[in-house]
Amino acid sequence: MKTKLQALFQSEGYRIEMIQSNGQVAQATLSWDKRQKPRCSCGKKMRINRIERQAASDLPLGCASVVVVAYDGVQGFCKICQVYETRRPLEIVPNHHATLRFMRHVSLLCRWLPVSRVCEVVPVTPSTAARYDRYILKTELPDPCLDDLGAIIIDEKHLGKSGGFITLVLNARSGELLHLAEGRSQESLDGFFAKLTDKQKAAILAVAIDRSNAYRCAVESHLPHAQIVFDKFHLIANFSDVIDAVRRRSYSQASEADRAFIKGQRFNLLRNAENLSEKGRNELQTLLEANADLSAAYVLKDQLKEIWTYTYTASAAKALTRWVEMAVATGIRELGRFAKGLERAKDEILAFCKHRITSAKIEAFNGIVARVVRNACGLSNLDYLFLKLRQHSLQKW
Ligand SMILES: [Zn+2]
């Protein structure tokens, strides 16, 4: 038993003096074997300049949740490199006073649990857990892969009142997060394009964006050869806003009796019919029968999604034209205006057929953002937020 425990603390150049525990707390004491010379990273042996007793946190050991490693930090001097270097056991990270394996363990917990819960499993404060996690992600996550991207998605996210807007760039095929920057202006993308070589830029053939002008300008100036795609996710969201506008207008124009139907139906109108409860469906039915404008808008929403079910551009184009005609024919002001907008953006909408950019990656990523922000209880540090979101966007992390 004794030898097995010692194996946990074995480190080159060190002797395990003792391992002791009073139940809750355990300590391992490792001292430098003075017959040995520490080696410089160049491989040469160094002259010992100073030995200093230090301490670091380590992984929980059985019922001992607090484990401390007391060790000799050995500072040597390399004559070849003319530098001082310090040796430590167990890959201790000096700035964090912890072993690498402990930090990795905390980081793994942070992947699945809110930081507030991580502290119930290991004896660290929330800020220490976040600090460890950030260090591990920063040093161990692979760099974004920017070669042969083919297609990317640029999207904005709102992080609440204090967080403001951020701009995100995703690989449209793999869903990997490639870039995160503050704001949602044209300049928010400068940092991303600055990272790309000319060859990498040339490999981006399509960019999915919403219809905001800022991203469009940025793409047109940095990737003039790339085709812009307005993705389904944003267009459907835009149309939901239009339905909402119709609902509000209908309400303000309705008689007192009809208002009773419309009120409180915002939720039902925006949800997909198949997700509604029986009660919700019945209420919606009553509402639609009572209000022709809303009824038309609702039916058109389902029709709109059809456009993205086609493989061939010509078929999708026909569906789009049909939709625009129907929307205009309703004579409803809001729908007509939206339809005109779609017609103007026809090329960008139909480009999805060629590049096969779907909204699935954006929707999946929205789920990731919600989970990460919730678990980290408001990430105010954008570098850390980027690392966390990247971690979750990578399949293997
Ligand atoms: Zn050296």
Ligand 1 centre to CA of 324 (Å) is 72
Listed range (209-218, 239-248, 271-280, 328-337) with the worst mean pLDDT:
271-280
Per-domain boundaries in the chain: 1-90, 98-140, 150-231+358-393, 232-355
Integer-rounded Cα Rg, in Å, for the chain is 29
What share of the chain has pLDDT > 70, as a percent?
Answer: 91
Number of other CB atoms surrounding residue 299 within 10 Å: 13
Can you give the pTM of this predicted structure?
0.81
Contacts of 71 (CB under 8 A, 6+ apart): 14, 29, 30, 31, 53, 54, 55, 56, 88, 89, 90, 92
For residues 280 and 42, the model is more confident at 42
For residues 307 and 379, the model is more confident at 307
Q: In the structure encoding, which two tokens stand for residue 365, read together?
A: 């990523």
Q: Distances from the Cα of 358 to the Cαs of 125, 154, 206, in angstroms?
A: 41, 13, 12
Listed range (170-179, 218-227, 370-379) with the worst mean pLDDT:
370-379
Q: How confident is the model at residue 3 (pLDDT cuts 50, 70, 90)?
A: low
Q: What is the DSSP letter of 336?
A: H
Residue the block writes with tokens 């010509």: 314
Query: Distance between CA atoms of 312 and 305, rounded to whole angstroms?
Result: 15
Q: In the structure encoding, which two tokens stand for residue 141, read together?
A: 């996550």
Q: In the structure encoding, which two tokens stand for residue 168, read together?
A: 């995100």
Ligand 1 centre to CA of 140 (Å) is 25
Q: On the CB side of 224, how many CA atoms lie within 13 Å of its CA?
A: 1
Ligand 1 centre to CA of 193 (Å) is 39
Q: If you average pLDDT over residues 49-59, what whole number do you get?
A: 96
Question: Crossing angle of helices 126-140/382-393, nearest 10°?
Answer: 60
For residues 9 and 374, the model is more confident at 9
Give the pLDDT of residue 373.
80
Ligand 1 centre to CA of 31 (Å) is 23
Listed range (237-241, 301-305, 359-363) with the worst mean pLDDT:
359-363
Q: Is the pLDDT of residue 239 over 80?
A: yes
Ligand 1 centre to CA of 40 (Å) is 5
Neighbours of ion ligand 1 (CB under 5 A): 40, 42, 44, 78, 80-81
Q: If you average pLDDT over residues 161-172, what whole number do you get?
A: 88
Q: Is the pLDDT of residue 384 over 60?
A: yes
Ligand 1 centre to CA of 44 (Å) is 6
Ligand 1 centre to CA of 39 (Å) is 8
Cβ atoms of 326 and 332 within 8 Å: the answer is no
Ligand 1 centre to CA of 34 (Å) is 19
**Could you tell me which of 344, 339, 347, 397 has the C-alpha nearest to residue 368?**
397
Query: Distance between CA atoms of 202 and 215, rounded to whole angstroms?
Result: 18
Q: Is the pLDDT of residue 263 over 90?
A: no
Q: If you average pLDDT over residues 85-110, what whole number do you get?
A: 95
Listed range (46-55, 191-200, 342-351, 356-365) with the worst mean pLDDT:
356-365
| Bridge partners, residue 93, by sequence | 98
Give the pLDDT of residue 262.
65
Ligand 1 centre to CA of 38 (Å) is 11
Ligand 1 centre to CA of 87 (Å) is 13
Residue the block writes with tokens 């996210």: 157
Winning range, highest mean pLDDT, from 108-117, 128-137, 260-269: 128-137
Q: On the CB side of 267, how many CA atoms lie within 13 Å of its CA?
A: 9
Ligand 1 centre to CA of 102 (Å) is 29
Level-2 CATH architecture, domain 150-231+358-393: 2-Layer Sandwich (3.30)
Long-range interactions of 261-267: CB distance < 8 A, separation 24+: 261/286, 261/287, 261/290, 261/291, 262/287, 262/290, 262/291, 262/294
Q: C-alpha 245: how far from its chain's center?
A: 31
What is the pLDDT of the chain when averaged over all its residues?
88
Give the pLDDT of residue 292.
75
Ligand 1 centre to CA of 278 (Å) is 75
Query: Distance between CA atoms of 137 and 131, rounded to whole angstroms?
Result: 10
Q: Is the pLDDT of residue 358 over 80?
A: no
Q: How confident is the model at residue 314 (pLDDT cuts 50, 70, 90)?
A: very high
Count each helix (H run) and each strand (E run) in the chain, helices first.
18, 12
Q: C-alpha 200: how far from its chain's center?
A: 23
Q: Is the pLDDT of residue 219 over 90?
A: yes
Ligand 1 centre to CA of 37 (Å) is 13
Give the pLDDT of residue 264.
64
Ligand 1 centre to CA of 78 (Å) is 5
Query: Distance between CA atoms of 159 and 164, rounded to whole angstroms?
Result: 5
Give the pLDDT of residue 336.
92
Q: C-alpha 23: how far from its chain's center?
A: 40
Ligand 1 centre to CA of 52 (Å) is 21
Q: Is the pLDDT of residue 1 over 60?
A: no
Ligand 1 centre to CA of 41 (Å) is 6
Query: Distance between CA atoms of 149 and 51, rounded to whole angstroms?
Result: 51
Ligand 1 centre to CA of 93 (Å) is 20
Ligand 1 centre to CA of 99 (Å) is 24
For residues 198 and 374, the model is more confident at 198
Ligand 1 centre to CA of 77 (Å) is 8
Query: Distance between CA atoms of 264 and 313, rounded to whole angstroms?
Result: 39
Ligand 1 centre to CA of 82 (Å) is 7
Query: Distance between CA atoms of 316 and 306, rounded to whole angstroms?
Result: 8
